[in-house]
Amino acid sequence: MGSLVRVRLFAPFDRLCGRRDVVAEFSGTPRLADVLLRLVEQHPALGRYILKRTGNGTVDFENYFLACVGENIVLPEDRIPDGAEVKLFVPHAGG
C-alpha cells in the first residue's frame, strides 16, 4: 500500500522552498526521516538548514525545528500515516 503525505511549510521554510506545501508519495508507511529526506531531494537548498552531518558519515536532523501531525510532535523515527499532514516549523512565538 502506498502513502500520500502532505508537508506544510511554515516560515522560514516556505520562503526557502518558494512554496507553502509539498506532497510526497511513498511505497509504504514512511518515517518522518523519510519524509524530510524526500523534501530535501525535491528542494536541495533546504538541506543546509535541516540536515546535520554526523561524525560517522550518517545524516541526522537539526534540533531547532519541530514537526507535528495534528497537535502531536513527531520525531524522525515516528511513522507518518497515509493522508497525514506534517507541519514543519520553528517554535517561535509569533506576532
Provide the binding-site residues for other proteins, judged by CB under 8 A. 11-12, 15-16, 45, 48-49, 62-64, 90-95
Lookup: cell for 18: 518558494
The least distance separating other proteins from the CB of residue 4, rounded to whole angstroms, comes to 29
Strand-pair category, 85-89 with 3-9:
parallel
Cα separation, 61 vs 86, in Å, equals: 16
Of 48 and 79, nearer to other proteins (C-beta) is: 48
Q: Which residues face 22 on adjacent strands?
A: 7
The least distance separating other proteins from the CB of residue 76, rounded to whole angstroms, comes to 17
The least distance separating other proteins from the CB of residue 94, rounded to whole angstroms, comes to 7
The least distance separating other proteins from the CB of residue 1, rounded to whole angstroms, comes to 36
Lookup: cell for 76: 524522525
- Shortest CA distance to 36 belongs to which of 12, 2, 13, 70? 13
